[in-house]
Amino acid sequence: MAAHTRRDFLRRATTGLAVLGAGGLTLPAGAQPTPASGDLGDYAEFLKGEATTTTAPAPTGKWAATEDNILGPYHREGAPFRAKVTPPLEPGDTLVVNGRVWALDTRKPIAGVVIDIWQANAKGRYDNDDRRNPPAKGVFKNRCRLITDEQGYYEYETIHPGRYLNGRQYRPAHIHYLVRVKGYRQLVTQLYFKGDPMNDKDPFIKPSLIIEPKAVTIEHGTYKVGTFDIVLPPTP
């Protein structure tokens, strides 16, 4: 920090935490400021150059608002902000999904968009689909929230979700989205996968919501990456 020391920052933070009172966050007695380990040096200049040249690529294809989809019965408010949807070592095929949130009116990316993500595990089970055994308060499995960066970009790691029986028919694999930002319409939708044998039988799926992840091979194995851009119309 240029104008203030780390100790000043810590002192202000400690004062703010004290206001929370009993049950709030508290800093252990005797805690010391985290020591500095140098500065960015030449890398800082490199980052400045990157900031001036990086621009978000416009989405291809028809320019239209992203279609909505059903909310479903398994949404939960309050999921933690993190970039990994699943717990550590969750069984399943690793999947990375990325994209940008765009404004329909300006055709520019939107920063600060909050996106709720939730899905079934590889066996088609949600963490709250058993009313007799609900998840503990504050425990969220296969759920997260994300915030888009200054270029409207988001990305998360998960596993390919499993199908589950809905009445007499299995729903195709899908990932739920709830997208919210001031000035634009809230969007509830779902992401689907090309080639799923249940796609043609599902009454809720919409073709525009289907993506086709591509395999990426690295030293330790293979995973898939898919892109799902979102376009939001402004509020009336």
Determine the Cα–Cα distance for residues 144 and 117; give it in Å rounded to an integer.
5
Catalytic-role residue among 143, 160, 163, 174: 174
Active site residue 126: yes
Query: Cα–Cα distance between 65 and 177 in angstroms, integer?
Result: 15
User: Which residue is catalytic, options 143, 145, 160, 176?
Assistant: 176
Of 164, 177, 184, 192, which one is the catalytic site residue?
164
Catalytic residue among 143, 160, 163, 171: 171
Catalytic residue among 100, 126, 143, 177: 126
Q: 188, 177 in Cβ contact below 8 A?
A: yes
Task: Return the active site residues.
Answer: 126, 164, 171, 174, 176
